[in-house]
Amino acid sequence: MSSSDDEEQGEQQKKGGTTPGEYVVGAVGGLVVLALLAFLAYQTLAVRETGPELAVSVTAIEPALAGYAVHFEVVNNGGRTAEQVQLSGTLTREGRQVEQSTAAVAYLPPESRRDGVLVFSEDPREGDLTVGPSGYVLP
């Protein structure tokens, strides 16, 4: 940059002129602010924080040393975390409860899944098996 360029730029600043670099920085800053406002508007209007929405499915039943292992998967499709999730499985035959088993999942964040096992001494394939959540704690 020559001394004449420095003098010209100094004269522009004395006159109150804005350099092209300042326009670029101002435009980028304006775009960042607009993007942030659009994101906040979307979060406010479109995203609703719902409670935990738990779904449990049995993935496999197999013999085990202690009886029968019922493998399950629990999914949290909701918008909040569930802690200390209690799951229970009930085996019924001919309308009578034969056996019940419970398990716990310590932490289940939104949009996540965990696998676990319930253990029964009776064969769960010979009856009606119901597996589902029985309670949880909100953090």
Residue 48 predicted with pLDDT over 80: no
Residues in the chain: 139
* Mean pLDDT across the chain: 88
Domain ranges of the chain: 3-45, 54-137
Q: Which pLDDT value is given to residue 44?
A: 76
Return the H-helix or E-strand segment holding 111: none
DSSP reduced 3-state for 112: strand
User: What pTM value is reported for the model?
Assistant: 0.67
Residue 1 predicted with pLDDT over 90: no
Class of domain 54-137: mainly beta
Residue 9 predicted with pLDDT over 90: no
| Contact residues for 130 (Cβ-Cβ < 8 A; gap 6+) | 89, 90, 92
Amino acid at 2: S
pLDDT per residue as tens digits for the range 100-133: 999 999 999 998 999 999 999 999 999 999 999 9
Query: If we measure between CA atoms, which residue out of 2, 85, 12 comes closest to residue 51?
Result: 85
Share of the chain above pLDDT 70, in %: 87
